[in-house]
Amino acid sequence: MKAYVTLLTSESYVPGALTLAKTLKQLKTENKLAVLLDLSLISGHSMALINKAFDDVIQINDQKLTAPLEKVAAKLGREELAVTYSKILLWNLDKYDQIIYLDADTLPLNNLDHLFDKYESLPATEIVASPDIGWPDIFNSGVLILKPSKPVFDKLIEHSETQDASFDGADQGLLNEFFHLQDKGHSWKRLPFVYNVTPSAHYQYRPALTRFFSEINLVHFIGGQKPWQDKSAEKDPFQQLWWEKFNSFFTKEHDRIKLLSTLPSEGYNLKFTKLVNEWDKVKEETHLPHLDELSLGDATKLFPWEHREQFAPTRVFNKVDVASETGSVKSKKVALEDPSPASQSTTQPLNQKYDQFTNKTKFDPERSLEEVSQIPLKMLSKKK
């Protein structure tokens, strides 16, 4: 039995994996579609769509499948290797005679079933892959043709336990070291680049892209920005093609919203041991009183006029009295709270002093205007 297999270790790659599976079916493949995934990292809504799109859903958190990788991670003290090296598990899928592995961020343009026939006689010690655009002397691990084999799987596990197992710390470096760079009795068979085209805007690459454009069988969207994460209006022809496929497969708005609202990165999946600062472990001493030690009756004394002091005032002032006859100043020491009557003047009223009116009765408005008009003159004559 033969199968196309992809790997899914993050919710953020679900749109790519689903579009890949539906595209293969649209191209009328006659082979099984399988997916390796970590069930704990995929939402229930995504799993419902995945179960419909793929024929075989294989959980990589199955202990029987991942136990060898967990031992490698524990030995090297790197927990993330259990996920990073998950691609090794392809050689442990011995229920399949032959596998074409495709990354979740790839998009087939033509039916690829003929590759199964072309490499049917491929020994398990060999791997078929296209050269990497960044360094053509190594292969890109986004598209692989292989035959599962328990002996090869065991040797891969043994190789992954060494310190120089991977030159890039990931599966591509590991597989290149094992099948190509190190003499371990395994070999890499070159697959034409048109089966794993990684779009590039480099001017050196444009002439070849123009020359072989009609022969491209698969596009691989390498890099951190995937088509379903690109929010820009301007897209290259391959990104536009991916969106055309996605839009034709997922017409329900609910599904589109769910799929496209996934986080663009995988950092939220990392599991770290919580670190506690040593300072946080020490309970700081405090001199503040506890609530039960406070009494509402012992309110703080804030203002003098609240009369909460327990002692008599010590500051006093000299009170000044003016003598009525002589005008001399009389001084005596008194306390602040000792009241004193206001002094009263004994001088003659102004109207009597200047003899404006002979009659001491109240002012009569009917008196002659002439007498009233002479008042200022009398005042001036008195001052002289």
What is d(CA 8, CA 354) in angstroms, rounded to the nearest whole number?
117
Q: What is the pLDDT of residue 291?
A: 45
pLDDT at 256 over 60: yes
Q: Which residues contact 186 (CB under 8 A, 6 or more apart)?
A: 125, 126, 127, 152, 178, 179, 180
Tell me, what's the pLDDT at 39? 86
pLDDT in the model for residue 352: 55
Q: pLDDT by residue (tens digit) across 262-308?
A: 554 444 455 544 454 554 455 545 444 444 444 445 555 556 666 66
Nearest to 178 by CA among 165, 191, 189, 169: 165
Domains of the chain, by residue range, sit at 2-262
Residue-level pLDDT at 41: 85
- Of residues 363 and 374, the one with the higher pLDDT is 374
**DSSP string covering 111-177:** --THHHHHTTT--TTEEEEPBPSS-TTSB-TTEEEE---HHHHHHHHHHHTSTTS-SSSSHHHHHHI
Higher per-residue pLDDT: 224 or 360: 224
Which tops the pLDDT comparison, 128 or 173? 128
Return the closest-CA partner of residue 56 out of 81, 78, 31.
31
According to the model, what pLDDT value does residue 344 have? 58
Q: Which residues of 210-245 are buried (b: 16+ CB within 10 A; e: fewer)?
A: eeeeeebbbbbbbeeebbbbbeeeeeeebbebbeeb
Query: DSSP letters along 328-384, please?
Result: -EEEEEE-TT---PPP---SPPHHHHTT--SS-S---TTS-HHHHHTHHHHHHHHH-
Query: Does 208 or 309 have the greater pLDDT score?
Result: 208
| CATH of the domain spanning 2-262 | 3.90.550.10
Residue 29: is its pLDDT beyond 50? yes
Give the model's pLDDT for residue 286.
47
In the numeric block, the tokens 């839009």 are attached to: 247
- CA–CA gap between residue 317 and residue 258 (Å, rounded): 85
Tell me the residue type at 282.
V
Tell me the pLDDT band of 36, cut-offs 50, 70 and 90: very high
Mean residue pLDDT of the chain comes to 76
From CA 6, how far away is CA 351, in angstroms rounded?
119
For residues 100 and 4, the answer to whether their CB atoms sit within 8 Å is yes
pLDDT tens digits for range 89-113: 999 999 999 999 999 999 999 999 9
C-alpha 203/C-alpha 132 separation (Å) is 17
pLDDT at 201: 53
CA distances from 78 to 54, 181, 342 (A): 31, 23, 96
Q: What's the pLDDT at 358?
A: 53
Which among 121-130, 227-236, 372-381 has the top mean pLDDT? 121-130
SS3 per residue for 227-282: HHHCCCCCCCHHHHHHHHHHHHHCCCHHHHHHHHCCCCCCHHHCCCCCCCCHHHHC
Count CA atoms within 13 Å of residue 209 on its CB side.
16
pLDDT band at 16 (very low <50, low <70, confident <90, very high): very high
**Cα distances (angstroms) measured from residue 52 to each of 5, 125, 171:** 15, 34, 29
CB atoms within 10 A of CB 64: 7
The token duo for 165 is: 């197992």
Short-list 130, 149, 148, 150, CA closest to 140: 130
Weakest mean pLDDT among 18-22, 162-166, 214-218: 162-166
Q: How confident is the model at residue 64 (pLDDT cuts 50, 70, 90)?
A: very low
Euclidean distance between CA atoms 173 and 340, whole angstroms: 104
Residue 235 pLDDT: 74
| Average pLDDT value for residue range 78-98 | 78
Contacts of 115 (CB under 8 A, 6+ apart): 100, 145, 195
CA dihedral 163, 168, 174, 176 (to 10 degrees): -130
More confident of the two residues 341 and 45 = 45
Amino acid 355: pLDDT: 53
Contacts of 64 by beta carbon, 8 Å cutoff, 6+ apart = none
End-to-end CA distance of the chain: 140
